[in-house]
Structure 1
Amino acid sequence: MRLGRHTFADDAMLVMAIVNRTPDSFYDKGATFAEDKAMERVDLVVEQGADIVDIGGVKAAPGGEVDVAEEIDRVVGLVARVHEAHPQLVISVDTWRAEVGEAVCAAGADVLNDAWGGADPTLVDVAARHDAAIICTHTGGVEPRTRPFRTGFERDVMAEVLDGVLGYAERALAAGVARESIVIDPAHDFGKNTHHTLEVTRRLDEMVDTGWPVLVSLSNKDFVGETLDKPVDQRLIGTLATTAVSAWLGARIYRVHEAAETRQVLDMVATLRGERPPARTIRGLA
């Protein structure tokens, strides 16, 4: 897998830490809206073991209008600062807009994380032009920044998810994005109710079996809250449980708020799978 300037082994499991340059995030309520605070967050998650930062300038949920110019103003300066301060770090930007993609790639972004499933079909051309990676998600064609309402699937939910992400991946490939720089994402909760999201999660190995690397964005989402009847600030345990299952099933990238905890879960699963040795083994040997 190659993400912009960076390459990774086939069995690597990567932590993608969320950095919101928004005043109204559902999770941090604007704690990193100021650029200096966002940079402090980047420094922290790097220390905690993050491999990637995912910088976003527009929250996913409905809210105040953020036009292209405002989104660019929120993210480009931070991308440039991170690129200079942490050259070893993969920089991803959460955007569905080609104009924003152009600006952030010019500033040093390695990945375009399109959470809205190709709402702007020219985003793949931007990724190809800049030799950037792209995240291909399934949203069922919903409008950006809308919530699902009485969502249904005519066929099996995983079949439709696979159709969506594989079709997007092939469009990216045809546009000139390198095969090793295309990642697929079932987009938990996006265009789905909790039943759909749970079904996709338990069958995640079907996505892994396609051969494309799989990203999952599980962190503190509604499907966790509804499953356990917990508010946003009490969803960490459910998130980490789902992370462990997803890791066992073969997902490669984990978009998260809690980087340190996720790193430990992924390391433990990798060791259980025989892909990573224990950090130390002295019990019963002395």
Structure 2
Amino acid sequence: MGIRVYSIIAENMEEAHRLIASVGADRAGCDWMAPKAVHRLVMLDGVRPEQANIIKQEMLAKGGEAAVSRGVVDHSVAETRVLLMGTLRQYGAFLAKLKCQPFGLAALAGRIKEVLDGQEGYRPYDLDCRGKTLRLGERTLVMGILNVTPDSFSDGGRFCEPGQALERAWQMVSEGADIIDVGGESTRPGYIPVEAGEELARVVPVLKRLAAEIPVPLSIDTTKASVARQAMEAGAHIINDQWALRADPGLAAVAAEYGAPLVMMHNQNGTRYRDLTGDMVEYFQESIAAAEKAGVDRAKIIVDPGFGFGKTPEQNLEMLRRLKELRCLGRPILVGTSRKSTIGKVLDLPVDQRVEGTAATVAVAIVNGADIVRVHDVKEMARVVKMTDAIIRGNTGAV
């Protein structure tokens, strides 16, 4: 048939290096050409016309492109979105020029670079969980859900007693859980908030029992700094905050004091968004900045897009489709879809029949960049994780 012609995709510099090297190029050639092989789209929102005109001019001059509102040229619009399009090589030259421009564009150049760097992902590293270690970035980790509440939507009341909780935790570990997430307050639709004292009465006895025997890190699922502090004293290793410091900013100081990794989930009242990913990225950037200001090591911050929180079913599914866009934060991503109502609505199935639907969402989340998945059905989802990792990460084990 002669010369074969087919498409190739390089999602980051590492893949670009590998592909260029595969044709026989030397290392210097790979270094020079790789930035030309990776194309990025970056959206800027809230750009003034005088800024947009300079941005478009400079991006075009470097061989890239910038889409702006038609009203930018004659200043008939007060603000515009700007969609930047270019290779990493073009962005490098563009940002160098942007740093020399007025109207706050020098600072904007730094923010664009942060987003581009975040999209490259992070190298695998050991996450210190107060003496226990999790390896992030090599395989997808499984967080097993252990609700010690009487009213959780899926397993309320089943594991409230410390002995029952310990038995369930051991079962999840044997099935492949890398983390056990302990929660003492239900967040199901229509839940009734509980006082810190009641939440502590539920989680502390369980945490003490688990900390003495369970080998994997324990996460405390709470929005209260007072609960997180007592949980740390009881032996918890990770703080999982479903309001990303919005409910209680003091959680950041507790995480910093105890050296605990901090999971921050996107959440909001209502389901209105200007742009789903854009709003979420801004939310996380603010939370990450607040956490770092309180002394939390950036390497210990994990983000959770909040499937089922502040989103319609359609928005939940859109979030999964666009999950890769959160990579620009440069932080590990945790996704919790297990048995959620969106799955029930799509499949028209009750909570106890959503394993297959959960499996689909877990697989898609991993494909799109999830590093940790939070699940009820550990045995089944650990298998889904292993198979998906074999496809996406090349973790084939004994194959």
| Matching residue's letter, 2:296 | V
| Matching residue's letter, 2:127 | R
Displacement of 1:64 in angstroms is 4.3
| Separation in structure 1 between the aligned mates of residue 191 and residue 316 of structure 2, nearest angstrom | 23
| Separation in structure 2 between the aligned mates of residue 170 and residue 163 of structure 1, nearest angstrom | 11
The worse-fitting range, judged by mean Cα deviation, of 7-16 and 47-56 is 7-16
Equivalence map 1:57-68=2 (5 Å): 57-61=184-188, 62-68=190-196
Deviations 1:55-94 (A, max 9, x none): 00110133445211111111112112211102x3011011
Displacement of 1:209 in angstroms is 3.5
Q: TM-score, normalised by structure 2?
A: 0.65
Question: In structure 1, what is the equivalent of residue 197 of structure 2?
Answer: 69
Query: Alignment partner of 1:8: what SS?
Result: strand
Question: In structure 2, what is the equivalent of residue 104 of structure 1?
Answer: 231
Question: Out of 268, 272, 278, which is 1:152 matched to?
Answer: 272
| Matching residue's letter, 1:53 | I
Query: Alignment partner of 2:182: what SS?
Result: strand
Question: In structure 1, what is the equivalent of residue 391 of structure 2?
Answer: 272
Does residue 42 in structure 1 map to residue 169 in structure 2?
A: yes
Query: Alignment partner of 1:187: what SS?
Result: coil
| Matching residue's letter, 1:70 | E
Query: Alignment partner of 2:329: what SS?
Result: coil
CA contact (8 A) 1:95 1:113 kept: yes
Question: Out of 254, 263, 271, which is 1:135 matched to?
Answer: 263
CA contact (8 A) 1:169 1:184 kept: no
| Separation in structure 2 between the aligned mates of residue 257 and residue 241 of structure 1, nearest angstrom | 14
Q: Which structure shows the higher helix fraction?
A: 2
Question: In structure 2, what is the equivalent of residue 145 of structure 1?
Answer: none
Question: Out of 209, 217, 220, which is 2:336 matched to?
Answer: 217
Displacement of 1:242 in angstroms is 0.8
| Separation in structure 2 between the aligned mates of residue 30 and residue 204 of structure 1, nearest angstrom | 33
Question: In structure 2, what is the equivalent of residue 125 of structure 1?
Answer: 253
Question: In structure 2, what is the equivalent of residue 31 of structure 1?
Answer: 158
Query: Alignment partner of 1:124: what SS?
Result: helix
| Matching residue's letter, 1:277 | T
| Separation in structure 1 between the aligned mates of residue 227 and residue 393 of structure 2, nearest angstrom | 41
Deviations 1:121-171 (A, max 9, x none): 11111100100011111112x3xxxxx5xx221x11111111112221221
In the alignment, structure 2 segments of 5+ residues that lack a partner are 1-125
CA contact (8 A) 1:3 1:110 kept: no
| Matching residue's letter, 2:277 | M
Question: In structure 2, what is the equivalent of residue 284 of structure 1?
Answer: none
CA contact (8 A) 1:165 1:186 kept: no
Percent sequence identity over matched residues?
37
| Matching residue's letter, 2:205 | G
| Separation in structure 1 between the aligned mates of residue 146 and residue 134 of structure 2, nearest angstrom | 22
Query: Alignment partner of 1:275: what SS?
Result: coil
Higher relative contact order (CA 8 A, sep 6+): 1
CA contact (8 A) 1:3 1:90 kept: no
In the alignment, structure 1 segments of 5+ residues that lack a partner are 143-147, 282-286
Question: In structure 2, what is the equivalent of residue 226 of structure 1?
Answer: 345
| Separation in structure 2 between the aligned mates of residue 257 and residue 224 of structure 1, nearest angstrom | 14
CA contact (8 A) 2:147 2:156 kept: no
Query: How many equivalent residue pairs?
Result: 270
Greater C-alpha Rg: 2
CA contact (8 A) 1:22 1:59 kept: yes
Q: TM-score, normalised by structure 1?
A: 0.90
| Separation in structure 2 between the aligned mates of residue 52 and residue 258 of structure 1, nearest angstrom | 13
Query: Alignment partner of 2:389: what SS?
Result: helix
Q: 1:63 to 1:209 in 2, by over 3 A?
A: closer
| Matching residue's letter, 1:222 | S
| Separation in structure 2 between the aligned mates of residue 29 and residue 77 of structure 1, nearest angstrom | 17
CA contact (8 A) 2:148 2:156 kept: no
Question: Out of 248, 255, 259, which is 2:374 matched to?
Answer: 255
| Matching residue's letter, 2:266 | H
Does residue 56 in structure 1 map to residue 183 in structure 2?
A: yes
Deviations 1:167-199 (A, max 9, x none): 212211221111211000110111111111111
| Separation in structure 2 between the aligned mates of residue 7 and residue 66 of structure 1, nearest angstrom | 31
Does residue 21 in structure 1 map to residue 148 in structure 2?
A: yes
